[in-house]
Amino acid sequence: MNAKRISSVALRDLEEALAAAFWFKDDLRHFLTLAITKPELLSRLDWSQSNSKRNVARDLVGRMAANQDRYLDDLLLLMSEVSRLQDFSHLEHLDDGPAKVGRAKSAVAAVQTAFAQHETLIEGRKAVEEHRRVAREAALRKSAEVERLRKLEETFRLVLTPTEAHRRGYLLEGLLKDLFELFDLDPKASFKIVGEQIDGAFNFEGTDYLLEAKWQTPRSGTDELDSFNGKIGRKLDNTLGLLIAINSFEPTAVAVHSGARPRMVLMDGPDLVAVLEGRIRLNDLLRRKRQHAAHSGEIFLPVNEIL
């Protein structure tokens, strides 16, 4: 048996069961309407009075069998529904009723056997459907993530607009809080505005980080990095730091704090824009920066050297 297709024997059993289990075509049509998910299959059948229900069953199964790549799910579903038929009392009052009931039961039993024999195929389709379900959910999450990033990017544009310092800090505080939550970075403390910076903490891949974000006009220099390094030093030994300076850093300050066993990594405005535009995920950006610092000692790896 080809594991990717329903066998011809099983298809003939299905035809026979559909013809034997229903006496009236209207009953057969009602059953098929409930059992088949693609309505075009039924609309193409000849339901005229002159056409027999056996011809209808043969035409339906034949169309589905000829294009199993498209209709395999419906064939399996139809076999499953036919396998569940148990009540044949509607055939008992007909001429030769007991014989008709016997033929119907025998035909349905054959489909039950055929359906069980296609277990490998059924499990394979279940795996495919599960993969599709996971992919659909991932696509929905991605779509929601893109929409949230778009709104956060709009907020960031307001941060860049010259305005009163406290309002600018308030906007950036909300932006960073939402951004870190979006990427499941488990903020450990509320991001709080202190002067022209935001202080907070988060956890990334099992390591606690202090966060400091600055939106001041000049580039952050040695004094700012010294101060932040001192804060990290007062925490537990495995604590690291992330310093975000919207207007970037003085090269000399970066050089002074780069070296053996760095305790912080740096982000600037272009890094943040790349995340907000969806060009790189925040998790991936942090991981690349941390790996680069661990391997080279350099605490600032601009995003344009990553993408």
Break the chain into its structural domains and give their ranges: 8-117, 144-305
SS3 content of the chain, % helix, strand, coil (to 5): 60, 10, 25
Determine the pLDDT at residue 2: 40
Determine the pLDDT at residue 99: 93
Neighbours of 126 (CB within 10 A): 11
The secondary structure of residue 219, as a DSSP letter, is: P
Cα–Cα distance measured from residue 288 to residue 249, given in angstroms and rounded to the nearest whole number: 19
What tokens were used for 293? 């610092």
CATH assignment, 144-305? 3.40.1350.10
Report the predicted TM-score, pTM, of the whole model to 2 decimal places: 0.56
Can you list the residues of the chain whose pLDDT is less than 50? Answer: 1-3
Cα–Cα distance measured from residue 61 to residue 15, given in angstroms and rounded to the nearest whole number: 7
Determine the pLDDT at residue 100: 92
Determine the pLDDT at residue 214: 85
Determine the pLDDT at residue 243: 95
Sign for the CA dihedral angle at 25, 28, 34, 36 comes to negative
Over residues 47-95, the pLDDT tens digits come to 888 899 999 999 999 999 998 888 888 888 888 889 889 999 988 888 8
